[in-house]
């Protein structure tokens, strides 16, 4: 089945430096908002041991995992060196303040 844009809510619903969890058929997706208002969507599983990234601390365009402090780049899902791994990102668009994920 081809992927479609799915509406998941308003950017206003996510506080700056916060995250919202969207439950999908492909697992939980964490939608983050950085301090500058940028929005990012990643699978809500740390590449280390599946920690819930949505509970992490957002700083810049990164999130620190709440379990063992790996730092994940919100733009590409990659762990900062020396750690190695990736939380898959999800394509996202914002139209008139509404967030859509391509799932």
Q: Does 65 bind ligand FES (CB under 6 A)?
A: yes
Q: What tokens appear for 84 in the block? A: 């190695």
Q: Which of 32, 42, 58, 70 forms a contact with ligand FES (CB under 6 A)?
A: 70
* 51 contacts ligand FES (rule: CB under 6 A): yes
Q: Checking phi first, is residue 37 left (phi over 0); if not, alpha (psi -120 to 50) or beta?
A: left
Q: Under a CB-based contact definition with an 8 Å cutoff, are residues 70 and 83 in contact? A: yes
Cβ contacts of residue 79 below 8 Å, gap of 6+? 47, 48, 70, 71, 72, 73, 85, 86
Q: Which of 46, 58, 74, 90 binds ligand FES (CB under 6 A)?
A: 46
In the bound state with ligand FES, the residue whose beta carbon lies nearer, of 59 and 68, is 68
Establish if 80 lies at the interface with ligand FES (CB under 6 A): no
Contact stretch for ligand FES (CB under 6 A) within 18-26, 32-40, 48-56, 90-98: 48-56
Binding site for ligand FES (CB under 6 A): 46, 48-49, 51, 65, 67-70
């Amino acid at each position: 089945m081809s992927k479609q844009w799915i509406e998941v809510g308003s950017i206003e619903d996510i506080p700056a430096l916060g995250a919202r969890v969207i439950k999908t058929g492909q697992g939980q997706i964490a939608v983050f908002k950085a301090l500058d208002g940028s929005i990012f969507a990643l699978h809500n599983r740390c590449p280390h041991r599946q920690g819930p990234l949505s509970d992490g601390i957002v700083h810049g365009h990164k999130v620190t995992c709440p379990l063992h402090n790996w730092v994940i780049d919100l733009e590409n899902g990659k762990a900062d060196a020396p750690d190695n791994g990736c939380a898959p990102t999800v394509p996202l668009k914002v139209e008139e303040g509404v967030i859509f994920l391509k799932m």
